[in-house]
């Protein structure tokens, strides 16, 4: 893994010594299984070749100092005084700093000893675009602390600790998919992940296809109450359905047939949310089989169904995302397209015939500009490996 050179030169300039460690963690797209992780179901993400990068050098104090290269901001926090979300001068930490501070808090909640360090952070994962820029930052810090501090925690536990940072420190009730994907990425493969049993397996992407990401350039923060509201709606559905169906602990446990037989018990809004989840679980299981059989057309059709469900039932799409999906389906070589991540803006992921991927990307951005009047960033992405560290002493 090749670090961005400006990361090292900037570190050396700012701290007047070279970094001793570099860590990296990828963002992700999700191919199927949206808003399913917190319903204990199955998801199908891909770690992508966009990374959060950290250059760091340990200090002898409890203070972590971070220069955020992309923002031109410096912050610091004391790892033994994290509860108030203040810096050592008692000023409130900016929101982005809650991610690394939250990871420090969460690791220590698990009795892991941490060291202070000086760091420079940069990322090629676009922020707030539904590609898990926040999970990438959390994971890049977690693996750096692991390397500095000498303890050895398995990757799934590390993913859960990063998720806890986001749930309990940042205040977003997100599931485990993003941190899982950032830590478990496999080059060339999608990751079939069971969010209840935590079992997973890589599924190689068929040779002849390309994944194209298209960014609407519409942003909406995950912290928005809408995400937490969706999760609460699912919990309400479980609460009601469990009174009538045995062994239902999460919406993952409700079959399509059982849902149809009991949907009248739910209010119209809760019905729509639950229907998306129940059908999306089934879609994901079917989709994984189709992709394993190399059937890009059938998989793509399921992606389109998934998008319609996110648009009409879960109501997390927006006009710009819908426009990108509609334009994509009319372009040659497109097997499927859908919004990816939490929604309310951000990106679509497109499954495209590899030989037509370039003209597809150009056609999509041109037609989006014409129809919506905004620029879309469109690029072909590669399925990447998960987070890691580059030890500078070993180079
Ligand atoms: C965000 C959350 C994930 C997941 C997706 C929707 O990315 O962080 O846990 O719920 O939204 O699938």
Look up the CATH number of the domain holding residue 46: 3.30.230.10
The answer to whether position 382 is within a domain reads: no
Q: How far is the CA of 244 from the centre of ligand 1 (A)?
A: 29
The reply to whether the predicted model has a pTM over 0.75 is yes
Half-sphere exposure of 387 (CA within 13 A, CB side): 34
pLDDT of 107-160, one tens digit each?
999 999 999 999 999 999 999 999 999 999 999 999 999 999 989 999 999 999
CB 7 within 8 A of CB 20: no
Domain residues for the domain of 64 are 5-204
Residues of the chain predicted below pLDDT 50: 394-395
What single-letter DSSP state applies at residue 92? Answer: B
The number of distinct structural domains making up the chain is: 1
pLDDT at site 232: 96
The answer to whether position 233 is within a domain reads: no
Q: Which two tokens stand for residue 265?
A: 């018990």
For ligand 1, atom 8: residue with the closest CA = 174
The answer to whether position 68 is within a domain reads: yes
Residue 174 CA: nearest ligand 1 atom is: 9
pLDDT at site 1: 84
pLDDT at site 391: 75
> Which one is catalytic: 87, 178, 215, 253?
178
Q: Is the C-beta atom of 215 inside 6 A of ligand 1?
A: no
pLDDT at site 224: 64
pLDDT at site 102: 98
The answer to whether position 135 is within a domain reads: yes
CB 35 within 8 A of CB 42: no
In 3D space, the residue among 221, 277, 209 whose CA is nearest the CA of residue 42 turns out to be 277
pLDDT at site 225: 81
Q: How far is the CA of 150 from the centre of ligand 1 (A)?
A: 31
The answer to whether position 323 is within a domain reads: no
The answer to whether position 79 is within a domain reads: yes
Q: Is the C-beta atom of 174 inside 6 A of ligand 1?
A: yes
Q: Is 40 a catalytic residue?
A: no
In 3D space, the residue among 195, 178, 208 whose CA is nearest the CA of residue 296 turns out to be 208
For ligand 1, atom 9: residue with the closest CA = 175
């Amino acid at each position: 893994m090749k670090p961005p050179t400006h990361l090292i030169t900037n570190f050396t300039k700012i701290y007047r010594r070279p970094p001793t460690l570099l860590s990296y963690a990828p963002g992700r797209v999700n191919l199927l299984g949206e808003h399913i992780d917190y319903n204990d179901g199955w998801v199908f993400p891909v770690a992508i070749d966009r990374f959060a990068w950290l250059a760091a050098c340990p200090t002898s104090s409890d203070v972590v100092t971070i220069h955020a290269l992309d923002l031109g901001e410096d912050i610091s926090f004391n790892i033994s005084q994290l509860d108030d979300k203040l810096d050592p001068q008692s000023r409130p930490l900016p929101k982005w700093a809650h991610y690394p501070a939250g990871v420090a808090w969460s690791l220590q909640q698990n009795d892991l000893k941490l060291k202070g360090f000086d760091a420079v952070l940069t990322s090629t994962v676009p922020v707030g675009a539904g590609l898990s820029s926040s999970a990438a930052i959390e994971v890049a810090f977690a693996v750096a602390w692991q390397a500095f501090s000498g303890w050895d925690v398995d990757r799934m536990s590390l993913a859960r600790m990063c998720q806890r940072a986001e749930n309990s420190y940042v205040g977003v009730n997100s599931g485990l998919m993003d941190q899982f994907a950032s830590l478990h990425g496999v080059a060339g493969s999608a990751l079939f992940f069971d969010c209840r049993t935590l079992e997973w397996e890589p599924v190689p992407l068929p040779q002849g296809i390309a994944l194209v990401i298209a960014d609407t350039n519409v942003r909406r923060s995950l912290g928005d109450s809408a995400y937490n509201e969706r999760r609460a709606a699912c919990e309400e559905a479980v609460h009601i359905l469990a009174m009538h169906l045995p062994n239902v602990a999460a919406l993952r446990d409700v079959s399509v047939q059982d849902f149809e037989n009991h949907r009248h018990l739910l209010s119209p809004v809760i019905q729509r949310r639950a229907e998306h989840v129940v059908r999306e679980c089934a879609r994901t299981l079917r989709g994984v089989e189709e992709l394993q059989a190399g059937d890009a057309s059938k998989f793509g059709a399921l992606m389109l169904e998934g998008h319609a469900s996110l648009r009409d039932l879960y109501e997390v799409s927006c006009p710009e995302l819908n426009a990108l999906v509609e334009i994509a389906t009319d372009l040659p070589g497109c097997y499927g397209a859908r919004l990816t991540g939490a929604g309310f803006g951000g990106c679509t992921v497109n499954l495209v015939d590899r030989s037509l991927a370039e003209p597809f990307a150009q056609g999509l951005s041109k037609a989006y500009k014409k129809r919506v009047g905004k620029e879309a960033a469109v690029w072909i992405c590669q399925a990447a490996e998960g987070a890691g560290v580059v030890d500078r002493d070993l180079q």
